[in-house]
Amino acid sequence: MTQNPFSTVITPLILLIPSIVSGYQLHYHDESFTPDVVLRVAATNISRACLDRYSVLVNGTSPGPELRLREGRTYWIRVYNDMDVQNLTMHWHGLSMAASPFSDGSPQASQWPIAPQHFFDYELHPDIGDAGTYFYHSHIGFQAVSASGALIIEEPEPAYEYDGEHTIHLSDLFEKTDDEIEKGLTSTPFVWSGETSNVLVNGQGIPVEPDTSSDGCSMATFLVEPEKVYRLRFIGATALSFVSLGFQSHNNLTIIEADGHYTKPFEVEYLQIGSGQRFSVLLRGKSQEELEQDRANGIDQYFLQIETRDRPTSLRSYAVLLYPGGGNDTSAMPASPPITLPNTTLGWLDYQLRPLTPNNFPTLSEVTRRVTVTITQIIDNTVVTWLQNGFPWTEKFPPMPYLVALYDDNISMFPSYDVAVAYGGMDDSTRTFPAKLGEVLEIVIQNTVEVGGILNVHPFHAHGAHFYDIGSGNGTYDLQENEERLKGTEPVRRDTTMLYRYARSGIDGAPAGWRAWRLRVTNAGVWLVHCHILQHMLMGMQTVWVFGDRDDVLRLGTPSVQGYLSYGGAAYGNSSRWPTCVHYWDDD
Ligand code: C2O
Ligand code: CU
DSSP string, 7-73: SSTTHHHHHTS-EEETTEEEEE--TT---SEEEEEEEEEEEETTEEEEEEEETTBSS-PPEEEETT-
In terms of phi and psi (left: phi > 0; alpha: psi -120 to 50; beta: otherwise), the region of 203 is: left
pLDDT at 580: 94
CA–CA separation, 455 and 568 (whole Å):
41
Please give the number of the atom of ligand 1 that sits closest to the Cα of 463.
2
Question: 547 C-alpha to center of ligand 2: Å?
Answer: 24
pLDDT at 23: 59
Residue 411 pLDDT class (50, 70, 90 cuts): confident
* Domain C-terminal end among 270, 293, 322: 322
Question: 91 C-alpha to center of ligand 1: Å?
Answer: 7
Residue 219 lies in a domain: yes
Checking if the pLDDT of 12 tops 50, the result is no
Question: 377 C-alpha to center of ligand 2: Å?
Answer: 11
> What number is the average pLDDT over the span 12-25?
46
Angle at Cα 361 formed by Cα 374 and Cα 273, nearest 5°? 55
Checking if the pLDDT of 24 tops 50, the result is yes
What is the identity of the amino acid at 137?
H
Cα 326–chain centre separation: 36
Q: Is the peptide bond before 63 cis (omega within 30 degrees of 0)?
A: yes
Question: 461 C-alpha to center of ligand 1: Å?
Answer: 7
Question: 532 C-alpha to center of ligand 1: Å?
Answer: 6
Verify that 378 and 511 share a domain, yes or no. yes
pLDDT at 5: 33
Please give the number of the atom of ligand 1 that sits closest to the Cα of 106.
2
| Percent helix / strand / coil, the chain, rounded to 5 | 10, 40, 50
Question: Residue 189 CB: number of other CB atoms within 10 A?
Answer: 8
For 338-394, the pLDDT digits (tens) are: 999 999 999 999 999 999 999 999 999 999 999 999 999 999 988 999 999 999 999
Verify that 298 and 401 share a domain, yes or no. no
Residue 348 lies in a domain: no
CA–CA separation, 152 and 126 (whole Å):
10
Q: Which ligand is nearest to the CA of 276?
A: 1
Residue 502 lies in a domain: yes
Q: Whose CA is nearest to atom 3 of ligand 1?
A: 93
Closest CA to 322 of 434, 444, 206, 224: 224
Question: 464 C-alpha to center of ligand 2: Å?
Answer: 20
Q: Which ligand is nearest to the CA of 104?
A: 1
Verify that 142 and 196 share a domain, yes or no. no
Verify that 286 and 244 share a domain, yes or no. yes
For the chain, give the percent of residues with pLDDT over 70: 95
Would you call 381 helix, strand, or coil by DSSP?
coil
Query: Which sign, positive or negative, has the C-alpha torsion 251, 257, 258, 260?
Result: negative
Closest CA to 132 of 234, 259, 237: 259
Residue 564 lies in a domain: no
Cβ < 6 Å from ligand 1: which residues? 91, 93, 137, 139, 276, 461, 463, 528, 530, 532
Angle at Cα 79 formed by Cα 524 and Cα 108, nearest 5°? 45
Question: 436 C-alpha to center of ligand 2: Å?
Answer: 27
Radius of gyration of the chain (CA): 24
Please give the number of the atom of ligand 1 that sits closest to the Cα of 276.
1
Closest CA to 529 of 147, 122, 106, 100: 106
Verify that 115 and 207 share a domain, yes or no. no
pTM reported for the whole predicted model:
0.95
The answer to whether 142 and 105 are in contact (CB under 8 A) is no
Where are the extended beta strands (E) located within 416-503?
432-435, 440-448, 458-462, 467-473, 493-494, 496-499
Question: Residue 225 CB: number of other CB atoms within 10 A?
Answer: 14
For 100-129, the pLDDT digits (tens) are: 889 999 999 999 999 999 999 999 999 999
CA–CA separation, 428 and 430 (whole Å):
5
Residue 335 lies in a domain: no
Where are the extended beta strands (E) located within 32-182?
37-48, 51-58, 67-70, 75-81, 90-93, 118-124, 132-138, 148-154, 164-172
Q: Which ligand is nearest to the CA of 496?
A: 1
Q: Which ligand is nearest to the CA of 543?
A: 1
Verify that 381 and 497 share a domain, yes or no. yes
Would you call 292 helix, strand, or coil by DSSP?
helix
Domain limits at 407? 364-553
Verify that 85 and 45 share a domain, yes or no. yes
DSSP for residue 102? G
Q: Whose CA is nearest to atom 1 of ligand 1?
A: 93
Q: Which ligand is nearest to the CA of 138?
A: 1
pLDDT at 13: 36
> What number is the average pLDDT over the span 221-247?
98
For 135-152, the pLDDT digits (tens) are: 999 999 999 999 999 999
CA–CA separation, 97 and 104 (whole Å):
6
CA–CA separation, 178 and 141 (whole Å):
8
The answer to whether 111 and 152 are in contact (CB under 8 A) is no
CA–CA separation, 30 and 38 (whole Å):
14
CA–CA separation, 59 and 42 (whole Å):
8
Please give the number of the atom of ligand 1 that sits closest to the Cα of 528.
2
> What number is the average pLDDT over the span 294-315?
97
Residue 13 lies in a domain: no
Q: Which ligand is nearest to the CA of 97?
A: 1
CA–CA separation, 526 and 423 (whole Å):
20
Q: Which ligand is nearest to the CA of 531?
A: 2
Question: 459 C-alpha to center of ligand 2: Å?
Answer: 6
Question: 587 C-alpha to center of ligand 2: Å?
Answer: 40
Residue 10 pLDDT class (50, 70, 90 cuts): very low
pLDDT at 588: 46
CA–CA separation, 86 and 83 (whole Å):
6
What is the identity of the amino acid at 385?
T
Question: 97 C-alpha to center of ligand 1: Å?
Answer: 13
What's the total number of domains in the chain? 3
Residue 587 pLDDT class (50, 70, 90 cuts): low
CA–CA separation, 26 and 28 (whole Å):
7
pLDDT at 252: 93
pLDDT at 558: 65
CA–CA separation, 312 and 241 (whole Å):
12
Residue 98 pLDDT class (50, 70, 90 cuts): confident
Looking only at the bridges linking them, the beta strands covering 440-448 and 511-520 are antiparallel
Residue 501 pLDDT class (50, 70, 90 cuts): very high
For 440-495, the pLDDT digits (tens) are: 999 999 999 999 999 999 999 999 999 999 999 999 999 999 999 999 999 999 99
Residue 559 lies in a domain: no
Verify that 287 and 146 share a domain, yes or no. no
Question: 93 C-alpha to center of ligand 1: Å?
Answer: 6
Verify that 169 and 97 share a domain, yes or no. no
Question: 571 C-alpha to center of ligand 1: Å?
Answer: 23
Please give the number of the atom of ligand 1 that sits closest to the Cα of 94.
1
CA distances for 108 relative to 43, 87, 93, 197, angstroms: 22, 11, 17, 31
Verify that 377 and 465 share a domain, yes or no. yes
Verify that 282 and 223 share a domain, yes or no. yes
Please give the number of the atom of ligand 1 that sits closest to the Cα of 530.
2
CATH code of the domain containing 317: 2.60.40.420
CA distances for 565 relative to 5, 110, 554, 556, angstroms: 13, 10, 13, 13
Please give the number of the atom of ligand 1 that sits closest to the Cα of 137.
1
Average pLDDT, the chain: 93
Checking if the pLDDT of 95 tops 80, the result is yes
The answer to whether 194 and 184 are in contact (CB under 8 A) is no
Verify that 111 and 186 share a domain, yes or no. no
The answer to whether 204 and 184 are in contact (CB under 8 A) is no
Residue 510 lies in a domain: yes
CA–CA separation, 327 and 329 (whole Å):
6
